[in-house]
Amino acid sequence: MNEKLIQLAKRRGIFWPSFEIYGGVSGFIDFGPLGIKILKNIENLWRKMFILKHDFIYEISTPIVMPEIVFEASGHIKHFTDIVLTCSSCKNKYRVDQIIEVENIESWSLDEIEKYIKENNIRCIECKGEFEKPSYFNLLMKTNIGPFSTDIGYLRPEAAQGIFINFKRMYEIARKKLPFGVVQLGKVQRNEIAPRKSLYRMREFTIIDLEFFYDPQNPNCNLINEIYSKKIRILDIESRNKNLGIKEISIETALKNKIVLSEWLAYFMYLSQEFIQKLGIPYEKQYFIEKLPSERAHYSSQTFDHMVVINGNPIEVAGFALRTDYDLRNHSIKSGVELVAERIKEGKVIEKFYPYVAEPSFGLERLMLCSLSLAYSERDGRIILKLPSEIAPYHAAVLPLVRKDGIPEMAYKIYLNLKEKGIDCVYDDTEYIGKAYAKYDEIGVPYCITVDYQTLNDETVTIRNRDDWNQIRIKVTDLVNILNKLLRNEIKFEEAGIPVKK
RNA sequence: GCGGCCAUAGUCUAGCCAGGUCUAGGACAUCGGCUUCCCGAGCCGAGGACCCGGGUUCAAAUCCCGGUGGCCGCACCA
């Protein structure tokens, strides 16, 4: 974790610890004005690439609090709860199933486990100390719904369940055609034992879950040809076991050699790689790691984590899981409502079945953390946040060189016009020009437009490039057009106007 | 959750070990004024802090205990 980045975030209003006036609670982070702008930009870039591009992917929004029964069906009550044993002398904690090898030990009561430990004189595997009384640990955040304490609710630990329980309705909305996908983007909570590292492990964060439903008898992805020859960097189980390191393979190879078991999963993995590249994270700093069966979630038959390497440390930013029909099947059993799709032949329903699910799932704040970390750079003791234009908090800042002779008025007029034309910019006459440049470099604004004495004579302004501090001069009337091209990387900066000599 | 280190204005920090001289010093930031005008420029002025709770003491930013939070390691991470 880059300490200087954390300082910058606090100083400039990107993010800071929550509940500060009451001493803080670890695992919770507040986002300031700039942080929100960056987060929203990342969200919208994601929507553009995953939803807008595909007319068979839909976004919905469902409640954060859910009744207990949802998580009984999903398996979270059982699998998200661990019985924990604590050694009274060395204070190590263990999951009970690591200590007592008895079938179905998780379903025993605490008293039964305590009795068993005493009778069999089971002691700490580290220091041989005695265990304290066993206790539950559940990563679900618990609450009540309504006035009765028996109506238990949980805050969702993933947005996926809100999608699964809506399958029937969404299947209708998708005109009963597979495959289709449903997205939910929103806050989730997990009662982490030890939240750490600022934005990395939080108790509340924003998840982007895409549940993609397909027919297991017809699992092919119609878009796979577009990306067949594209490459991904991958560390599969075999490579992990044999210590072979990350390999670079084509999507075609990944599928033909059954390294990735689903075409749709592979498709979304590649899309994710492209998405994360657009966040400013180069291809070489990304890879997918396949989870071992013991590392996988209870619902998954294959999982890849999408990793980004920041300062040598791999950070998990997304997960790709084959959830099979686990969730739809279990919700069907629990609710008595059939969450199924139909196979139709000659106008008649000949078969009902549970669709399979390929799930890409992203942690929004982690994505921001990666972007900020890689964008962070210093020059001459000054900070430059080299964020991609698409996620920068503003596209441009309009600055008057001096605060007299009608220059601020001229600059303000230009600013208003840019805003009207959809350029997200900011006007600032509070600073000495050099200081203003430094300020906007620091929050990642890619271009500064300066109105100077020459503007009064020939209606031209300068544009300053954040990353190399070079300037060009262009006509005010060309500003919107040129800025748009620059923001979309359609022209080189030096060729966009007349270079200004330093 | 355990162990180690740590906590002073918006940010970074001096002071703490050797308690009083601290009505807590500095830098940057902020606000007001002047001035200058292409890279955190200059001058004048202002506001702003000892994480919380207890204890020791005549006296606590400073010593002790507890809590909270942060960093690192271990454990945990469906």
Write down the pLDDT at residue A115. 77
Residue A146 lies in a domain: no
Name the closest nucleotide to A193, judged by C1' and CA. B76
Cα gap A222→A54, rounded to integer Å: 11
Residue A386 lies in a domain: no
Regarding whether A321 and A197 lie in a shared domain, the answer is yes
> Could you tell me which residues come within 8 angstroms of residue A77 by beta carbon, excluding any fewer than 6 positions away?
A68, A71, A138, A140
Q: What are phi and psi of A43, to 5 degrees?
A: -55, -50
Write down the pLDDT at residue A460. 95
Name the closest nucleotide to A95, judged by C1' and CA. B76
Average pLDDT, chain A: 90
Regarding whether A255 and A369 lie in a shared domain, the answer is yes
Regarding whether A157 and A62 lie in a shared domain, the answer is yes
Write down the pLDDT at residue A231. 97
Regarding whether A188 and A46 lie in a shared domain, the answer is yes
Among residues A138, A167, A186, the one where a domain terminates is A138
Regarding whether A354 and A266 lie in a shared domain, the answer is yes
Average pLDDT on A157-166 reads 96
pLDDT digits (tens, 9 = 90+) for A42-84: 999 999 999 999 999 999 999 999 999 999 999 888 777 667 7
The pLDDT of residue A149 is above 90: no
Write down the pLDDT at residue A313. 87
CA of A195 and C1' of B51: distance in angstroms? 20
CA-nearest of A435, A437, A309, A440 to A385 is: A440
Regarding whether A452 and A358 lie in a shared domain, the answer is no
Write down the pLDDT at residue A222. 95
Write down the pLDDT at residue A125. 66
Regarding whether A63 and A108 lie in a shared domain, the answer is no
Among residues A327, A345, A374, the one where a domain terminates is A374
- Measured over the CA atoms of residue A354, residue A357, residue A363 and residue A364, the dihedral's sign is negative
The pLDDT-based confidence of A421 (bands split at 50, 70, 90) is very high
Write down the pLDDT at residue A347. 86
Regarding whether A132 and A166 lie in a shared domain, the answer is no
Name the closest nucleotide to A401, judged by C1' and CA. B37
Instruction: Using the C1' atom of nucleotide B11, identify the protein residue whose alpha carbon is closest.
Output: A11
Average pLDDT on A309-331 reads 93
The pLDDT-based confidence of A127 (bands split at 50, 70, 90) is low
What's A99's domain CATH number? 3.30.40.230
What's A430's domain CATH number? 3.40.50.800
Among residues A106, A138, A170, the one where a domain terminates is A138
What's A69's domain CATH number? 3.30.930.10
Average pLDDT on A14-32 reads 90
Residue A145 lies in a domain: no
The pLDDT of residue A119 is above 80: no
Write down the pLDDT at residue A339. 96
Regarding whether A133 and A255 lie in a shared domain, the answer is no
- Total domains present in chain A: 3
Regarding whether A215 and A105 lie in a shared domain, the answer is no
CA of A401 and C1' of B42: distance in angstroms? 17
pLDDT digits (tens, 9 = 90+) for A268-283: 999 999 999 999 999 9
Residue A21 lies in a domain: yes
The pLDDT-based confidence of A230 (bands split at 50, 70, 90) is very high
Residue A54 is part of which domain span?
3-73+152-374
CA of A10 and C1' of B50: distance in angstroms? 21
Residue A41 lies in a domain: yes
Q: Could you say which nucleotides of strand B lie within 7 A of any protein CB atom?
A: 1-3, 10-12, 29-31, 35-41, 51-52, 67-78
> Could you tell me which residues come within 8 angstroms of residue A259 by beta carbon, excluding any fewer than 6 positions away?
A234, A236, A249, A253, A290
Regarding whether A244 and A131 lie in a shared domain, the answer is no
Q: Distance between alpha carbon A332 and the CA centroid of its chain, in Å?
A: 29
Residue A216 lies in a domain: yes
What is this structure's pTM? 0.92
The pLDDT of residue A382 is above 80: yes
Regarding whether A225 and A209 lie in a shared domain, the answer is yes
A71 vs A116, higher pLDDT: A71
Name the closest nucleotide to A192, judged by C1' and CA. B77
- Per-position DSSP letters for A15-36, written without gaps between them: EEETTGGGT--TT-EEE-HHHH
Instruction: Using the C1' atom of nucleotide B78, identify the protein residue whose alpha carbon is closest.
Output: A80
Residue A384 lies in a domain: no
Name the closest nucleotide to A6, judged by C1' and CA. B11
Residue A383 lies in a domain: no
